Structure 1
């Protein structure tokens, strides 16, 4: 009975506090309505994705006559075809052609057979378009017996599969480039996304389950938000709702270290051979090439498919960080093998697939006003003959921008702290906030204490 009365009192207090907060806000808003608000940073949302330049050719010729495409060293797309007539059509369209033995249908049949086989943790496979083979890799955790069984399976696939041993172990990179921390571990923020009303962080799904509370510091004093949706294994993405609902200034910028960032101007799917860049809270900005698409990795936690395979390095803590090129968002860091001292293989969850599943839009840089330098678009600074993809030797991360948050909040605080503007409304807001915070403190303290126990070894 006593606990029931306490719950009723807390509910009544919370309703009264919310009512007071709304009243005080209306009073403050009327007080400052005559002042011109500071213009927000220009930003927009992604209206569509650009794709690899050879995609129309592959769609027209079909999987029985083609076997993938990649970007050559000169920036031109190269299409693998199975007959001379298809090669002639590719060349007539301005791309290079390479006649190969196996069609994409043959290669897809091989990957289907691998998926149907008993799962072996520590293995990964993807189609090597240039070699016209499916490459199966086994890390150091795969036993000799399991490797022998997979090799026997590959031997019966008419030369479509190549077996390779990989250094190290395939692991998720748990533990955007800016760090976020919870009791589940340490990850990196990926990209800011929105549903038009609220903003969110897109990061890796293995970073933490739904309900995970994220902080920007190890003491748990700067709450970022809470994970509200995710998919792992199968896919590897999750969505963190900002605690205050907004990403703030610089939502269209990903950090790359030393107080600098790169403006994100669009999203798309990469091409094999494309130069790409990754940023993470552990190793900063790194670059490399896309080596395969639609890759499958059998992590210890489960199987993830449809990934982007690259030779970009990554280390624990880089999980969820952004993959991009020329300002175009491509993926978020999933996992891989190796490190940034010896190199390795890193896999990324495609951004386009994650946003389609979540029904959200990427927050991107909006066009600047008159007299300002235009931001690069998805078609800007491309290699000759390869619209939509930069030449591997000339690609850059994108246009630079400072990483500096809090401008909007600082300006708003300055206005609200002026008693001539807010009058008695500020007193109503302050009192209501105190009451509201008091009702939420007990619940939030449980998460905070759990978080502090998890990271207590890191405190100074």
Structure 2
């Protein structure tokens, strides 16, 4: 077993870097790419610390770019602060929140609802939309009530919708979506988008690409679609020129960028992770919610943070846009970023 002395010595070795990263992130002079790189460093280091806290870890989140480590007891607080991180003492461990979220996943056939983990509030946030039927509202409310203050209910106006219309991106001449990421599989160039788009079938085209065939389409459950790239060019970059060199896991509080053919570029913040979203097409699992503004035609478009790709757009409402994690898509299909 690693001694407390050894553990604290290890923390001290990178605590100065952690503090420096936090200070740099708050600097108004940091450019977007530099901010993204420092934000990613803070998340990596905070996750390393949280990983040593075991059952006392409440997860992490970002507050204006600075990583905060949630803890459930004084010993964990001391360890995290010795490593240079701000802490927040919370009631529920991340494992407990995960169990609470998983209990909500047992509630089936409840369209127009969603739930996921918000580490900033140390709760599972349960969203119920006006478009949900009275029976669905009652069913989800009752399930959330069983979790006590480990969950909070948010009543949302409007309707959840997968975005699959308008815009001018990749198309099968029936519906229009957006290209997420250029990828390769076994050395062959391919295109990654949303599964609810490729579920529509057909042959796809866009830009200098034509005759793209569907390799795989997964929705609901996941929301991933893979297309061949029989011609045309395209490296691993957003259409702004921003290179995408890796895939990363989103963190609550993380500042992100997005692109889509209807709304173009924009920014937002991650508000929830591991969210189960009950669209009318079915349940989409492991989504992450953001404050980014998107609309019809943006489906499949990318969310990213600097050089780190995060996910492809599924849909949302007027307040929240949901993305399916890029890490899961690459793993499921055996892909490499172009």
**Range into which the TM-score falls when normalised by the shorter chain:** 0.7 to 0.9
Residue 148 (structure 1) aligns with? 138
Residue 232 (structure 1) aligns with? 219
Moved beyond 3 Å, runs of 4+: 49-53
Compute the displacement of 1:307 (Å).
1.1
Cα–Cα, structure 1 residues 222 and 362, in superposed 2: closer, same or farther, change >3 Å? closer
Residue 72 (structure 1) aligns with? 63
Q: How many residues align?
A: 297
Cα–Cα, structure 1 residues 193 and 210, in superposed 2: closer, same or farther, change >3 Å? farther
Compute the displacement of 1:302 (Å).
0.7
Residue 48 (structure 2) aligns with? 56
Superposed, 1:177-256 pairs within 5 Å as 179-209=169-199, 212-216=202-206, 223-244=210-231, 248=233, 250-255=234-239
Of the three residues 103, 108, 116, the one matched with 1:113 is 103
Of the three residues 238, 258, 265, the one matched with 1:278 is 258
Superposed, 1:359-370 pairs within 5 Å as 359-363=334-338
Superposed, 1:310-459 pairs within 5 Å as 310-338=290-318, 344-363=319-338
Compute the displacement of 1:198 (Å).
1.1
**Aligned-pair RMSD on alpha carbons?**
2.1
Asked whether the equivalents of residues 178 and 280 of structure 1 are also in contact (C-alpha less than 8 Å), the reply is no
Asked whether the equivalents of residues 184 and 207 of structure 1 are also in contact (C-alpha less than 8 Å), the reply is no
| Higher RCO by CA contacts (8 Å cutoff, separation 6 or greater) | 1
**Partner Cα distance (2:325, 2:78) in 1:** 32
Deviations 1:128-185 (A, max 9, x none): 112111110011211233212322222222321111111221111112x970111551
**Partner Cα distance (2:186, 2:138) in 1:** 52
TM-score (norm 2): 0.82
Deviations 1:227-250 (A, max 9, x none): 111211111111100123xx52x4
Cα–Cα, structure 1 residues 211 and 150, in superposed 2: closer, same or farther, change >3 Å? closer
**Partner Cα distance (1:298, 1:130) in 2:** 23
**Partner Cα distance (1:90, 1:165) in 2:** 35
**Partner Cα distance (1:305, 1:52) in 2:** 24
Note if 1:93 corresponds to 2:83.
Answer: yes
Asked whether the equivalents of residues 253 and 263 of structure 1 are also in contact (C-alpha less than 8 Å), the reply is yes
**Partner Cα distance (1:142, 1:195) in 2:** 40
Asked whether the equivalents of residues 185 and 208 of structure 1 are also in contact (C-alpha less than 8 Å), the reply is no
Residue 81 (structure 1) aligns with? 71
Asked whether the equivalents of residues 210 and 229 of structure 1 are also in contact (C-alpha less than 8 Å), the reply is no
